[in-house]
A and B are shown apart, each in its own frame.
Chain A
Amino acid sequence: MFPSKAGFGFFVAVILLWLLGTNYENNLVLAASFFLISLFIISIVHAFRNLLGLQLTALAASPVFAGQRLQLPVRIHAQGRAAAGRLILASDTEHSVLTDVPAAGEVQVELSVATQQRGWHTPERILVQSYYPLGLLRAWCWVRFDIKLLVYPEPLPMEPRATSHSGESEQHLGLAHGDDFIGLERYQLGAPLAHVAWKQYARGAGLHTKQFAAAQQDDLWLDYRAMTGDREARLSGLCCLALQWHRSGRQFGLRLQRECIAPASGKLHLTQVLSALALFELEAGVQ
């Protein structure tokens, strides 16, 4: 706790008032200056009290790509605070959020946290501060959340290498889906909308997806070994491709060094793939 800039200004005002009272030998003016000093002293207690009894909990955040800002939901739980001054939560100098916390109860705010690397990210310490009650004092504390947040690799466009280590590579990475329609299959959650048989649906036959022969036989594969560059560059490239293919509603699988995810499509699949990319070959230390 320390006087704020405004607090030092307040001191100047008090001193001037005291001088005025002393010079005119006017007890009332002196009393006014003493009153202001007392207000300052009391506000130390209140500033302390505004932070006392607060419990901050970081909740699960939806993952982002490295370099993006992560919106971290934070639950602020208060108990037995008398007053409810505003709090300023800051994850860094530019990003802060103002919030009210009820005297007892809880409130949820979203903090913007910077990310740099893929993998498990533990946010920097968070600054919780308050100028309550009169803005003369800054009370603050640092909070470090014991939480791991998933950060995907940064998607960077990269063309896969023409030749691949494995024999099947051409099929893996070619524009390998045929147009041969082979039949319909019941719609499953997450299937690309582009493949929905809208005609049948319109006829009242329910949701179905069209099955194409080439897609069935010749799924797309994200292959780590087919990429160029260092590990991070490869992962970024794969990440970018995964997003592209997901957007165009294709089925694709993932092959990393040892891991392998079977071809599929849908949001859940994408999440799995991206998570695998994010956590690939993480040194123990990074965790």
Chain B
Amino acid sequence: MSLNSDRLSRQSLLWMLAAQFIVLLPLVFEVPIWLMLLACGTGLWRWLIAVKQWPLPNKLARFFLVLAVSLGLLLSFRGSFGMQTMLSLLIAGFVLKLIELKRPSDLYLLCYLAYFVTGTQLLFAASLLGSLYGLLSLLAVSAVLLTINTAVVAPSLAKLGKQTVTLALQALPIMLVLFLVVPRIGSLWTVPLNKSAGVSGMSDSMAPGDFGHLMRSGELAFRVKFDEQIPPTRQLYWRGLVFDAFDGRVWRQSGSENVQRGNASPQWPQWRDSLVHHGEPLAYQVLLEPTAKNWLYALAAFDQVPDNARVSPSLTLYQPRSVYQRTQYRVSSVLDYQLQVDGLSPRQRAMNTALPAASNPTTQRRARQWRDEAATEQALLERLLRFYHERFHYTLQPSRLGEHTVDEFLWQSQAGFCEHFAGSLVFFMRAAGVPARVVVGYQGGRVNREQGYVAVRQYDAHAWAEVWLTGKGWVRVDPTAAVAPERIEQGVESSLDEADNLLLGNALGRRFALLGNLQLRWDALNYRWQLWVMGYDSAAQQAFLSRWLGRVTGWQLTLLVMLLVGVVAGLILLPLLLRRPSKSLPAPELAYARLCRKLERVGLARHMGEPPRQYAARVARLRPDLAADITRLTDLFERANYAGSASALTHLQTQLRRFKPRRL
């Protein structure tokens, strides 16, 4: 009779492979594809080894596999080290361990690896769905551990599933409390999630076609919850970056404005004086999806900004570190404002009227001509906007533009979208000697009335212009509004025709009311999830704890957690501890229990786990008058119980009825 726990059961192996599949599935696009294929291949191989009784690969084969995988990893990452490299290493370890899997004890290591990989999976996908999937992964891995230790005769899938879910349900309350009370320490060291390539969003420059690309994505950019009334959509210009340098094709930030390099010069309070507010500030909270960039989006002009955020003179809100995790921040803005009414510095004026001399000659010539014909800058601007309104149309599929993009757009194609309109307007105004610049960000957003927030998606990306007018300062001018006012009033899809609409990301959800509605609800749920779960940081924790528990010290908290753990454990054990020896006991044991109870009543209780003979000897010593009876009864019990003698049992039962010990 040997300990056959040393053999890996096929069931455990199958579970392990299934769990591995579940854990790795969402990571398919995060690691090199060959690694995933390798994982599938080795999984299959290991399964065949088990089913067909193939031998495990020998040392040499394993060595070459390790060598090949290491080489592959080296070539794939070329020395860069980030989250994806680490993940790939983990998965490689996972795969290589699989082929030398022999004993159940090897499974433990694999399971722990799987737990960790699940953690990284949660890093990449933190939506509600992603979290639920993460939980599923954890459960699958735990089920593997369970198969190694549960009944030897493999329990059915349903039974195993039930056991796992039971464990999980019992663990959840404890987890919840730990989640709520365990203090958050904060980053110990910075680790970049080199995911920037995968993040769609605005970049720090605007080349032709950039926005058209962005607008095909239905991905969430950020969500905003206003403290009070949500302003009308046409006022929701979510300001991102300001581009004031043009090289003939691409709009960029000039050196002094470059927030990416963190050198947006003077600090907020110093030049705040150049900003004049009219009216009450509007407070709101933004939940920004990861952008891998360091600027934030908010409505101009800011009044209160987060403590760690900075504001550049051209009104860009940015923070020192790039946003790799979903970030929450509070801003208050005044929508009616005047910026730099008092005038621009010569340097600023030069910067905002600069153009490459040779680019778009037609536009440069016309601009000068129009300027001479116009009485004021204002009149010039109005004429240009009228021109847009009368001649242009809005489409997501403009014709391709050649070398002189503005020339071709303004005087030939006359069809395009925000980036074309904003870019051409700024170019034209600059050519006419009026300071102007491009502002990029998002416009509008979908209002979720039920939950009272605005969801802004990538297809809400927008570019507009700012023109500096004497006596007014920087004025927002949106030529897109002149061409397709419904784009600004109702959102991008209402300004496009059928074919264009299909190009917009998530066309389906927007076209069918029911789906759209469902999407809204789902989005609302996700929003709650993000807000409460993902946004539960140490500040929120403090607020929560002081709200429900008042002032508590660490010790009291620890005590509380332990108390709760005790309560949960007690609840699980309670039904067992309450159960008295019942009819389910074998008959001899039942009779013996009766004998013990009788003796207990006269003060001769049997000790916990005391062997019957020893007990009998003790009773006989203490009560010689009972010695004969107890010896006989114990004898009968032993014969009934151990030798299965039926007659002994009958004797025991009848004699027991007559056995009436009296208290001395």
- Asked whether A42 and B151 contact (CB < 8 A) given A24-B191, A80-B576, the answer is no
Q: A53-B576, A130-B149 are in contact. List 16 more A-B contacts (CB 8 A).
A: A17-B116, A21-B119, A23-B188, A23-B189, A24-B193, A27-B535, A28-B533, A42-B167, A57-B641, A58-B642, A77-B589, A79-B579, A88-B3, A133-B150, A134-B146, A146-B611
A147 touches B145 (CB 8 A): no
CB distance from B20 to the nearest CB of A (A): 15
**Could you pull out 5 A-B pairs where Cβ atoms are within 8 angstroms?**
A20-B120, A36-B115, A45-B572, A110-B1, A132-B150
Q: What is the CA–CA distance of A83 and B160 in the complex, to the nearest angstrom?
A: 11
A28 touches B131 (CB 8 A): yes
- Asked whether A25 and B174 contact (CB < 8 A) given A45-B569, A52-B576, A85-B150, the answer is no
Binds B, one of A97-105, A219-227, A234-242: A97-105
Residue B182 interfacial (CB < 8 Å):
yes
Q: What is the CA–CA distance of A250 and B573 in the complex, to the nearest angstrom?
A: 63
Q: What is the CA–CA distance of A14 and B178 in the complex, to the nearest angstrom?
A: 14
Q: Which residue in B108, B174, B585 is a CB contact (below 8 Å) of A77?
A: B585
A134 touches B153 (CB 8 A): no
Q: Which residue in B1, B118, B534 is a CB contact (below 8 Å) of A32?
A: B118
Residue A260 interfacial (CB < 8 Å):
no
Interface residue total, chain A, C-beta cutoff 8 A? 76
A32 touches B138 (CB 8 A): yes
Q: Which residue in B122, B178, B611 is a CB contact (below 8 Å) of A28?
A: B122
A28 touches B108 (CB 8 A): no
CB distance from A62 to the nearest CB of B (A): 12
Q: What is the CA–CA distance of A42 and B568 in the complex, to the nearest angstrom?
A: 8
B642 touches A16 (CB 8 A): no
Q: Which residue in B105, B171, B576, B644 is a CB contact (below 8 Å) of A49?
A: B576
Chain B binding surface SS class: helix
CB distance from A44 to the nearest CB of B (A): 7
CB distance from A88 to the nearest CB of B (A): 7
Residue B142 interfacial (CB < 8 Å):
yes
Q: Which residue in B115, B135, B178, B186 is a CB contact (below 8 Å) of A17?
A: B115
Q: Which residue in B118, B122, B167 is a CB contact (below 8 Å) of A26?
A: B122
Residues of A within 8 A of B (CB): 6, 9-10, 12-14, 16-17, 19-39, 41-46, 48-49, 52-53, 55, 57-60, 77, 79-86, 88, 95-100, 104, 106, 110-112, 130-136, 144-147
Closest to A111 in B: B1
Residue B612 interfacial (CB < 8 Å):
yes
B584 touches A104 (CB 8 A): yes
Q: CB-CB < 8 A to A21: which residues of B? A: 119
A22 touches B187 (CB 8 A): yes
Residue B184 interfacial (CB < 8 Å):
yes
- A6, A14, A35: most-surrounded residue (chain B CB, <10 A): A35
Q: What is the CA–CA distance of A163 and B123 in the complex, to the nearest angstrom?
A: 93
Q: CB-CB < 8 A to B572: which residues of A? A: 42, 45-46, 49
CB distance from B608 to the nearest CB of A (A): 12
B179 touches A30 (CB 8 A): yes
Residue B226 interfacial (CB < 8 Å):
no
Q: CB-CB < 8 A to B179: which residues of A? A: 27, 30-31, 34
Residue B376 interfacial (CB < 8 Å):
no
A60 touches B611 (CB 8 A): no
B1 touches A34 (CB 8 A): no
Within 8 A of A (CB), among B365-411: none
Residue B660 interfacial (CB < 8 Å):
no
Residue B556 interfacial (CB < 8 Å):
no
Q: CB-CB < 8 A to A42: which residues of B? A: 167, 170-171, 174, 568-569, 572
Within 8 A of A (CB), among B343-362: none
- Asked whether A79 and B116 contact (CB < 8 A) given A86-B149, A100-B153, A133-B146, the answer is no
Q: What is the CA–CA distance of A207 and B168 in the complex, to the nearest angstrom?
A: 70
Residue B525 interfacial (CB < 8 Å):
no
B112 touches A12 (CB 8 A): yes
Q: What is the CA–CA distance of A5 and B125 in the complex, to the nearest angstrom?
A: 33
- B105, B151, B170, B569: most-surrounded residue (chain A CB, <10 A): B151
A39 touches B3 (CB 8 A): no
Q: What is the CA–CA distance of A112 and B1 in the complex, to the nearest angstrom?
A: 8
Q: What is the CA–CA distance of A79 and B120 in the complex, to the nearest angstrom?
A: 43
A6 touches B105 (CB 8 A): yes
Q: Which residue in A19, A58, A99 is a CB contact (below 8 Å) of B152?
A: A99
Residue B536 interfacial (CB < 8 Å):
yes
CB distance from A90 to the nearest CB of B (A): 8
- A6, A100, A130, A144: most-surrounded residue (chain B CB, <10 A): A6
Q: CB-CB < 8 A to B122: which residues of A? A: 26, 28-29, 32
- A81, A82, A104: most-surrounded residue (chain B CB, <10 A): A82
Q: What is the CA–CA distance of A12 and B569 in the complex, to the nearest angstrom?
A: 24
Q: CB-CB < 8 A to B664: which residues of A? A: none
Q: What is the CA–CA distance of A51 and B524 in the complex, to the nearest angstrom?
A: 47
